Amino acid sequence: MMKSRLVIFTIQQSYMAIRIFITGGTFDKEYNELNGQLFFKDTHISDLLEMGRSKVAVEIRTLMMVDSLEMTDEDRQLIAYQCEQCDETQIVITHGTDTMTDTALILEQKIRNKTIVLTGAMIPIKFGSSDGLFNLGSALAFAQTLAPGVYVAMNGRYFHANNVRKNKQTGMFEEIK
Amino acid sequence: MMKSRLVIFTIQQSYMAIRIFITGGTFDKEYNELNGQLFFKDTHISDLLEMGRSKVAVEIRTLMMVDSLEMTDEDRQLIAYQCEQCDETQIVITHGTDTMTDTALILEQKIRNKTIVLTGAMIPIKFGSSDGLFNLGSALAFAQTLAPGVYVAMNGRYFHANNVRKNKQTGMFEEIK
Amino acid sequence: MMKSRLVIFTIQQSYMAIRIFITGGTFDKEYNELNGQLFFKDTHISDLLEMGRSKVAVEIRTLMMVDSLEMTDEDRQLIAYQCEQCDETQIVITHGTDTMTDTALILEQKIRNKTIVLTGAMIPIKFGSSDGLFNLGSALAFAQTLAPGVYVAMNGRYFHANNVRKNKQTGMFEEIK
Amino acid sequence: MMKSRLVIFTIQQSYMAIRIFITGGTFDKEYNELNGQLFFKDTHISDLLEMGRSKVAVEIRTLMMVDSLEMTDEDRQLIAYQCEQCDETQIVITHGTDTMTDTALILEQKIRNKTIVLTGAMIPIKFGSSDGLFNLGSALAFAQTLAPGVYVAMNGRYFHANNVRKNKQTGMFEEIK
């Protein structure tokens, strides 16, 4: 069994890209200088991967561009469907932090045999001091190394989908128990 | 055996910080505006951890502040000694990229039962477009998840110490074979 | 006459600082990472002056911290009063762009013998790509060189208070006629 | 005479762009991530004008891309020749700070009836904390408002070409007497 695991591992490293699904969230918000509102235009994921000099093979797909407080059940079904259908077994999802753990729980119930890592940002990437680049670096690393399952990667750590909450006072993610 | 591994894992997660050793490198270079030269002052690791909203428990220690092209055998012996002596079993080392793989090989020969991840940056952190924050995020993640051994974490990927080189034409890290 | 002008000039250069009044506006907005709203905390004017390596003698005073769409008549009376009372004859006011020209008109009616330059930013300074540093550099320069009067300094240009409007489609300032 | 001056002023504002000559200097230096050296590629002046949302009409021309410590007499003759020949009467020159005052003195001797403003940066624009955007904002403003002559615009101030030096201890520009 140990041997077969190594074989699978080698295949993943060599032939299989990491799938990145974009859903919006603070991560990709921009400042509209005409009305002073934050809004979505395009994802900045490619800029971040370039800045990080990333050579990880990735397949990027934008599923939606929404504030996670406005994410519907249908949106979450779509995300789950896409995770299930895609060929890749390592998946990173960029997601608003407010309901990231809700989506993680749904994916945990539905998806088997894939390593899914949700991440996001507390500060938009377009701002000077965003945590987005740090989070993306850690999410891609966790996606390459963690066993199949659904995880939240924030604050430099990873959390199992069924044991994580966002502390609304501190903005930090933490274990429930 | 699987059970005992899980026990160890739980202990690490709960009680043990990640040790971060600073050795200098492009990562921490600054621009001296009086003479136009790059130089070292202090490490920026704390600023990066703050920007990344990191809640990973870490113990930071600056071992040296050198350009890795000027790192001596004695410097590498000191790094190895510190890795061996410290209580922590998960270690991240910030290091210049030019000789990062040399130091990794020496650590590989000397250190057992610890997960050591070397990382650095192609662009100084003080510059606007550094890869340092991305690399630190991935290095901390790899340190938490990879089995004991010595690794280089660059370009979003991890490499085993005995199978990695820096491609001098592209600046990217790659497997030797 | 030329001689007396030179005398006045010398006095201003040597003994008199430029007064900077802070009123808020996009310039000083920050991103609240807990609720995703933009808000005011402290002004960033000192950070900008430091980044610009400014050696212009300045006296900074925060009068208010408001979105200029919420600026009241009383607020504008206060600004005018402060401009009138202060010792300095060269004044820079940071101000939200939406009603900057309204405040300029009121100052134009009330203040004599002072060079008053209003400026602001289309993008908060805390964001990576703000125009605030550029605008502050030009506003300080205009305050040092323009004849007494009230001006708006935006988009690298200066406008007389009675002949400027913000084009709401483009976000750019332009002459009315 | 006052009337004719106003006429000239109106023409400049309406029809005549500011000429920007690029000569290199710290302003435009970049970090070569393969060898860790600073080098010149392209000028960043257009990026800065865009970031500043500048609507000043400008004509940009790169004359050279050199460290000002390596600028030759021939280089300075070329700059003077270009200042003389160009149609514009308002000129901004980006220039390394180390010998900026030398070039200013030569232009002062050769050019009449034009407002020439030399500026630069202590920190490369590509770095996060450059003074370049601030300096460009002030230089463009000074070029629009100062009487014909040759000036250095640094540290938020302007200096006459024949009364300015760079203080090598502080990196700041100051009057000689």
pLDDT digits (tens, 9 = 90+) for C54-84: 999 999 999 999 999 999 999 999 999 999 9
Please identify every stretch of chain B with a pLDDT value under 50, giving residue numbers as ranges: 1-14
Kindly list the residues from chain D whose CB atom is less than 8 angstroms away from the CB atom of residue B126: 127-129
Average pLDDT, chain A: 91
The residue among A137, A49, C35 whose CA lies nearest residue B54 is A137
* B61 C-beta neighbours (distance < 10 Å), count: 11
Alpha-carbon C48 to chain mean position: 14
Nearest CA in chain D to B30: D127
Rounded CA-CA distance B66/A141 in Å is 27
Average pLDDT of C39-58? 95
Indicate the DSSP class of residue B45.
H
Q: What is the pLDDT of residues C122-153, one digit of tens each?
A: 999 988 789 999 999 999 999 999 999 999 99
How far is residue A89's CA from residue A99's CA, in Å, rounded to a whole number?
23
Q: List the one residue out of B54, B49, B137 whose CA is nearest residue A173.
A: B54
Confidence of residue C177 (pLDDT cuts 50, 70, 90): confident
Q: Compute the Cα dihedral for D161, D165, D171, D173 and give only its sign.
A: negative
Q: Which residues of A91-128 are buried (b: 16+ CB within 10 A; e: fewer)?
A: bbbbbbbbbbbebbebbbeebeebbbbbbbbbbbbbbe
For C42, the token pair is 């402290």
Rg (CA), chain A: 16
Neighbours of B (≥3 Cβ pairs closer than 8 A)?
A, D
Distance CA D26, CA D131 (A): 11
* E strand residue ranges, chain B: 18-24, 29-31, 38-40, 58-66, 90-94, 115-119, 149-154, 157-160, 165-166, 173-174
DSSP E strands, D27-81: 29-31, 38-40, 58-66
- pTM of the predicted model as reported, rounded to 2 decimal places: 0.89
Interface partners of chain C (CB pairs < 8 Å, 3 or more) are A, D
Q: In the prediction, which pLDDT does A3 show?
A: 39
Tokens read off for C91: 């004044």
Written as six digits, the tokens of C80 are 């005018």
Are the Cβ atoms of D38 and B33 closer than 8 angstroms? no
Residue B114 · residue B91 · CB < 8 Å: yes
Residues C151, C158: Cα–Cα separation, whole Å? 6
Indicate yes or no: CB of A128 within 8 angstroms of CB of C123.
no
Q: Decide if D54 and C155 are in contact by the 8 Å CB cutoff.
A: yes
Contacts 24+ apart (CB under 8 A), A38-47: A38/A124, A38/C36, A38/C38, A40/A65, A40/A66, A43/A94, A44/A125, A44/A126, A44/A132, A45/A20, A45/A94, A45/A136, A47/A125
Q: Is the dihedral of CA B120, B146, B175, A51 positive or negative?
A: negative
**Chain A residues touching residue B132 (CB < 8 angstroms):** none
The ranges of chain D with pLDDT < 50 are: 1-14
Question: In this complex, which of B53, B137, B156 lies closest to A56 when CB atoms are compared?
Answer: B156
The runs of H, that is alpha helices, within C42-172 are: 45-51, 73-85, 100-110, 132-145
Q: Residue C7 has what pLDDT?
A: 38
Residues of C in contact with A168 (CB under 8 A): 34
**d(Cα D97, Cα D12) in Å, to the nearest integer?**
29
**Residue C107: closest CA among C139, C153, C76:** C76
Are B127 and D127 within 8 A, CB to CB? yes
Query: Across chain C, which distance is largest between two alpha carbons, in Å?
Result: 60
| Token pair 């100052």: residue | C107
The whole-number pLDDT of residue B177 equals: 87
Write out chain D residues lying below 8 Å of C138, CB-based: 137-138, 140-141
Residues of A in contact with C169 (CB under 8 A): 34
Q: What is the pLDDT of residue B1?
A: 32
- Number of neighbouring beta carbons within 10 Å of residue B78: 16
Give backbone dihedrals phi and psi of B15, rounded to 5 degrees, phi first: -115, -20
Sheet holding D157-160, edge to edge: D58-66, D18-24, D90-94, D115-119, D149-154, D157-160
Residue-level pLDDT at C1? 32
Non-local (6+) Cβ contacts of A29 within 8 A are: A38, A39, A40, A124, A126, C36
User: How sure is the predictor about C15, in pLDDT bands with cuts at 50, 70 and 90?
Assistant: low
Please tell me which chains touch D, using 3 or more CB pairs under 8 Å as the contact test.
Answer: B, C
Beta-carbon separation of B123 and D168 below 8 A: no
Hey, are the CB atoms on C34 and A171 less than 8 Å from each other?
yes
DSSP letter string, C139-171: HHHHHHHSPSEEEEEETTEEEETTS-EE-TTT-
How big is the A-C interface in CB pairs under 8 Å? Answer: 39
Give the residue numbers in B contacting A (CB under 8 Å), as ranges: 48-49, 51-56, 122, 129-131, 133-142, 144-146, 153-158, 171-174
The pLDDT value given to residue D12: 41
Closest alpha carbon within chain A to C131? A33
Pull the structure tokens for residue D79: 């700059």
Packing angle, helices A100-110 and A73-85, rounded to 10: 50
Query: Can you give the three-state secondary structure of chain A, one letter per residue?
Result: CHHHHHHHHHHHHHHCCEEEEEEECHHHEEECCCCCCEEECCCCHHHHHHHCCCCCCEEEEEEEEECHHHCCHHHHHHHHHHHHHCCCCEEEEECCCCCHHHHHHHHHHHCCCCEEEEECCCCCCCECCCCHHHHHHHHHHHHHHCCCEEEEEECCEEEEHHHCEECCCCCCEECCC
